[in-house]
């Protein structure tokens, strides 16, 4: 099947198929005499796998590793489970971080009084304080601890 057909079956665009091919996530498709790429059903399955893994939060590099593990009959599920556990931990840490950000922003929104001038706005003051040179410990941009 042509690139447009395999892309439609997988729910991605043709440019995505070409990109994944360049990145080595799917095998380079043989070409017809007219130069069209010809994909098999396995390419559509692989594209759907990639797409679903992305939905689960895996990066393309992590997906490449998973695809390699999937192709190796000697690999135990425990290796894939370890990768998934690492991703789960990362997601939970990000959720905690987002929860802290949400609480901080909610507190700032609550502290706002509509009649205050902009220079006294708690949100603007907080952002300006965080952006001040004193808030950063080194040129690498590492935030100083409070």
Instruction: Render pLDDT for 77-127 as a digit per residue (tens, 0 to 9).
Output: 888 899 899 999 999 999 999 999 999 999 888 888 777 888 888 888 888
For the whole prediction, is pTM greater than 0.95?
no
User: Is 13 within 8 Å of 7 (Cβ atoms)?
Assistant: yes
104-to-90, 97, 100, 109 alpha-carbon distances in Å? 21, 11, 6, 9
Task: Tell me the helix, strand and coil percentages in the chain, rounded to 5.
Answer: 65, 5, 30
Question: What pLDDT sits at residue 146?
Answer: 46
User: Is 47 within 8 Å of 17 (Cβ atoms)?
Assistant: yes
Backbone angles phi, psi at 31, to 5 degrees: -115, 150
Question: What pLDDT sits at residue 142?
Answer: 53
Question: Side-chain half-sphere of 1: how many Cα atoms within 13 Å?
Answer: 15
What is the distance between the alpha carbons of residues 53 and 60, in angstroms, rounded to a whole number? 9
Question: What pLDDT sits at residue 55?
Answer: 95
Question: What pLDDT sits at residue 114?
Answer: 78
Mean pLDDT of all residues belonging to the chain: 88
Q: What mean pLDDT comes out for the span 6-24? A: 96
User: Is 114 within 8 Å of 107 (Cβ atoms)?
Assistant: no
Q: How many CB atoms lie within 10 A of CB 42?
A: 11
**Confidence at 143, pLDDT banded by 50, 70, 90:** low
Lowest-confidence pick of 7-11, 59-63, 135-139: 135-139
CA dihedral sign of residues 98, 102, 103, 107: positive
């Amino acid at each position: 099947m042509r690139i447009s057909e395999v892309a439609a079956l997988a729910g991605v665009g043709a440019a995505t198929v070409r990109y994944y091919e360049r990145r080595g996530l799917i095998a380079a498709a043989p070409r017809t005499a007219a130069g069209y790429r010809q994909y098999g059903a396995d390419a559509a399955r692989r594209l759907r796998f990639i797409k679903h893994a992305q939905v689960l939060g895996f990066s393309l590099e992590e997906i490449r590793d998973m695809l390699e593990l999937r192709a190796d009959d000697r690999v135990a599920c425990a290796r894939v489970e370890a990768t998934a556990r690492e991703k789960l931990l990362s997601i939970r840490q990000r959720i905690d971080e987002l929860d802290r950000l949400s609480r901080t922003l909610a507190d700032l929104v609550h502290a706002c009084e509509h009649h205050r001038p902009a220079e006294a706005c708690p949100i603007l003051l907080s952002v300006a304080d965080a952006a001040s040179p004193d808030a950063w410990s080194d040129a690498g941009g590492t935030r100083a601890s409070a």
